[in-house]
């Protein structure tokens, strides 16, 4: 049976995923802005988020979220983490029983420190849930460039059923039942990407970037394993793969924030000129709180938090990292 897919959120990644899956399954995307909805339907484009790129002619957009939910056999959440709970609460009364829900967001709920699938489980506990994550820069994928991703769920049968819906031509989707590890990898790497960007913006060089990424991956793995993820997950697409893309690409929002901070600009000014969310800024606070609660040493994350929330600077951040105690690379700290 062909599943009808409903995508909530017409940002860059939500629109890209909706365009991809519409090639195999009837797909509707909900957009908050009626002008964006009209543009997707009439022009096959979303210039605000994917300028210059054409979308699938099979994709239809609506501004009535209830219509999308009532028709959907599979719901894909493409809204940012800050709007995740509110959106789910709004559609709770209209979603049919047992419809699976897949998150595209890579962040935490600030108040609860929940991952997005934890939010789903709290609001809609009887619905299978998962995450699509990995080194997925929306503009490249929407433009037809090859990429790989990971669909993570705890229910193996559901994973196998949904995998073909998301796999499409040059977009290869692997499966993983380590939902915790995959979801944490997507959220934690955004913080390290800001650190890598700060080094690039300050002209620190390729060696520095390599060290930040590698030690950042070690930090991410330490916290992720303590929180229940598997070590091998962080060495795969949802961990190292996503980290590399986000820490090195000019298309990465979090890396962009870091670059501008490294140039000495103020965070508020950087955020104000962006039309997309850089999840790592807010996530850095949650990650530091989790690290302190679980007694996990995360020196790179600590310096990013200080820059984003305590008025430190990129220059002071790198001085702080140079002062950090060093030991064996094999040590857990």
Active site residues: 189
Alpha carbon distance 193, 180 (integer Å) = 20
Contact 162, 181 (CB under 8 A): no
Contact 193, 283 (CB under 8 A): no
Burial class of 63 by CB neighbour count within 10 A (0 to 12, 13 to 18, 19+): middle
> Shortest CA distance to 240 belongs to which of 261, 224, 217, 259?
217
**Which residues face 74 on adjacent strands?**
5
> Checking DSSP bridges between strand 74-77 and strand 60-62, what pairing results, if any?
unpaired
Task: Output Rg (C-alpha) for the chain, integer angstroms.
Answer: 19
Contact 176, 236 (CB under 8 A): yes
**Which residues face 219 on adjacent strands?**
none
Strand stretches in 181-333, DSSP E:
none
Alpha carbon distance 161, 321 (integer Å) = 46
């Amino acid at each position: 049976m062909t599943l009808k897919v409903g995508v909530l959120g017409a940002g860059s990644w939500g629109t890209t995923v909706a365009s991809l899956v519409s090639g195999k399954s009837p797909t509707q995307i909900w957009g908050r802005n009626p002008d964006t909805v009209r543009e997707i339907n009439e022009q096959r484009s979303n210039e605000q988020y994917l300028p210059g790129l054409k979308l699938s002619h099979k994709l239809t957009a609506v501004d009535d979220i209830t219509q999308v939910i009532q028709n959907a056999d599979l719901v894909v959440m493409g809204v940012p983490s800050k709007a995740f709970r509110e959106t789910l609460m709004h559609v709770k009364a209209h979603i049919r029983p047992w419809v699976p829900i897949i998150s595209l967001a890579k962040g935490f709920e600030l108040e609860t420190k929940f991952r997005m699938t934890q939010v789903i489980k709290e609001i809609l506990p009887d619905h299978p849930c998962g995450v699509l994550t990995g080194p997925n820069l929306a503009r490249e994928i929407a433009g037809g460039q090859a990429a790989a991703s990971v669909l993570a769920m705890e229910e193996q049968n559901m994973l196998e059923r949904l995998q073909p819906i998301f796999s499409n031509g040059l977009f290869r989707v692997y499966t993983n039942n380590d939902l915790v590890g995959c979801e944490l990898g997507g959220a934690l790497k955004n913080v390290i990407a800001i650190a890598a960007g700060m080094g690039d913006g300050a002209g620190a060089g390729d060696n520095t970037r390599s060290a930040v990424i590698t030690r950042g991956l070690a930090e991410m793995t330490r916290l992720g394993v303590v929180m229940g993820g598997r070590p091998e997950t962080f060495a795969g697409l949802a961990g190292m793969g996503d980290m590399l893309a986000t820490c090195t690409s000019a298309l990465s929002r979090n890396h962009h924030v870091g670059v501008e901070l490294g140039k000495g600009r103020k965070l508020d000014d950087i955020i104000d000129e962006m039309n997309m969310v850089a999840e790592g800024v807010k996530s850095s606070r949650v990650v530091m709180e989790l690290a302190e609660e679980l007694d996990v040493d995360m020196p790179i994350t600590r310096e990013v938090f200080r820059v984003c929330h305590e008025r430190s600077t990129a220059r002071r951040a790198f001085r702080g990292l140079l002062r950090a105690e060093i030991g064996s690379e094999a040590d857990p700290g």
